[in-house]
Amino acid sequence: MATYYFRVGTGEPFTDKTDAGDDAVAKGQAVKVDNAPASVESWRMTYNFSTNSVDVYEDGKSNDEAQTAKKAAIDAQAASESAALKQAQKDLDAADA
């Protein structure tokens, strides 16, 4: 396990640097977690204030597998939004006709 600091309010990763992290904790800007997973990239971690624990995106997968899953999710969302915009444009064109 590793020590990591997370932003107060959002739970986003802040830093793994002790000096900057302890300073942010003193200012009320971050929380310190001593049981963050050591082998997980920071973008995959989020602090859950309800459970006071670290949630990991695609837990159980390697960093490479998580990156592939994240890219697939982003691509699927972009395709969905594109289809919705195209349908909205078709609906507008049909209403104008």
Predicted confidence (pLDDT) per residue in 6-46, tens digit: 999 999 999 999 999 999 999 999 999 999 998 899 999 99
Tell me the pTM. Answer: 0.73
| pLDDT per position as a tens digit, 50-96 | 999 999 999 989 999 999 999 999 999 999 999 999 999 999 988 88
C-alpha pair distances (Å), 35 with each of 1, 12, 59: 5, 16, 15
Q: Which residues of 25-63 are buried (b: 16+ CB within 10 A; e: fewer)?
A: eeeeebbebeebeeebeeebbbbeeeeeebebebeeeee
